[in-house]
Amino acid sequence: MHRPNLDEFELIARYLAPLARGESGAFGLLDDAAILDIVPGQRLVATADALIEGVHFFPGDPPELIGRKLLRVNLSDLAAMGAVPFAYLLTMALRDEATADWVEAFARGLGVDQKIFSVTLIGGDTTATNGPIALSATALGYVSLNGGLRRSGARAGDRVFVSGTIGDGAMGLKVLTKKLRGLGKDDRDYLKHRFRLPEPRVALGQRLQGIASAAIDVSDGLAGDLGHICVASGVGAVIEVARVPLSAAARHAVGTDPQLLETVVAGGDDYEMLFMAPADRTDEIVTVASESGVPVTEIGSVEIGQGVTLLGKDGSPIELESHGYKHF
């Protein structure tokens, strides 16, 4: 039997139980499961996402940021559904050499984001592994009976929108793996930060209910995730690549290497909202974007047909080598 050096019960009591104080039904993580009151007139929204060492983060990455990213990638999926997040479960598989310092910093990161996003830890599991560190969170949220956003509602004639800027996450990964050179330090730091600490668009997702016809969060890459919407909705979509919003750092990178536009369109890890809405809802989207404090940009349209077409500056189609995100 394989046992970690850190005592499991002490680890829970010292680092995780304090994260569960906000929910009485979590019983201080001392019981076998949490018991939660269900709000009448609401439906539960549940999602799970894992981060694996060597796949989604590097062995030496700051544990505080790993904790925050784990929570945020899950909150991004709730945002894509228009849900209000309230709780999450956490499963950790740690190696023998895991230190109290690592777990403390990881839990501190979770605590910071619990405050920002109003969520509470309500349970989970801690276990030992001989392999890479494996971390999984299950996030819970709610939507009203007629609320929520889905991938399947896009219709021909709808406009296509994205929040924030696209390509920073994938470029940040390239910086971290030394595959993107020739940028100044500020740009490199900005892109790395965007990869390590995405911004789930929780408030925007909630406000888009009743306005957006379909939505998804950009985790696999803009083209790939738009492709998922097209399949679910039975439509095609056209993106004008020149309209895709870029950060200053990403613009600098594309300026030195135009090939990086492929990373913008096909790279992953942006965790921005990609959504569609009928053209006559554009004014409402402008309002919702400003209320949420998140820039939103129109980048294309939904059409009869299938698949994603990328148009270059001159209006002619661009071919991509890959449409999805590959992990490092």
| Interaction site with Mg ion (CB under 5 A) | 77, 217, 219
Residues 6 or more apart in contact with residue 63 via CB below 8 angstroms: 102, 103, 105, 106, 109
Nearer to Mg ion, 213 or 219 (CB): 219
Nearer to Mg ion, 216 or 261 (CB): 216
Task: Measure the CA angle with vertex 143, ends 281 and 68; round to 5°.
Answer: 100
**Strand-pair partners of 93:** 127, 134
Q: N- to C-terminal Cα distance for the chain? A: 32
HSE-up of residue 108 (Cα within 13 Å, Cβ side): 10
CB of 207 to Mg ion, least distance (A): 18
CB of 33 to Mg ion, least distance (A): 26
Q: Would you say how long the chain is, in residues?
A: 328
Q: Are 198 and 165 in contact (CB under 8 A)?
A: no
Nearer to Mg ion, 63 or 224 (CB): 224
CB of 217 to Mg ion, least distance (A): 4
Q: Which two tokens stand for residue 168?
A: 């920073």
Nearer to Mg ion, 77 or 168 (CB): 77
**Strand-pair partners of 144:** 42
Residue of 60, 36, 127, 53 lying closest to 90 (CA atoms): 127
Nearer to Mg ion, 114 or 219 (CB): 219
How far is residue 290 CA from its own chain's centroid? 21
Residue of 67, 222, 205, 197 lying closest to 136 (CA atoms): 67
CB of 73 to Mg ion, least distance (A): 8
Q: How far apart are CA 302 and CA 228, in angstroms?
A: 13
Nearer to Mg ion, 75 or 237 (CB): 75
CB of 312 to Mg ion, least distance (A): 28
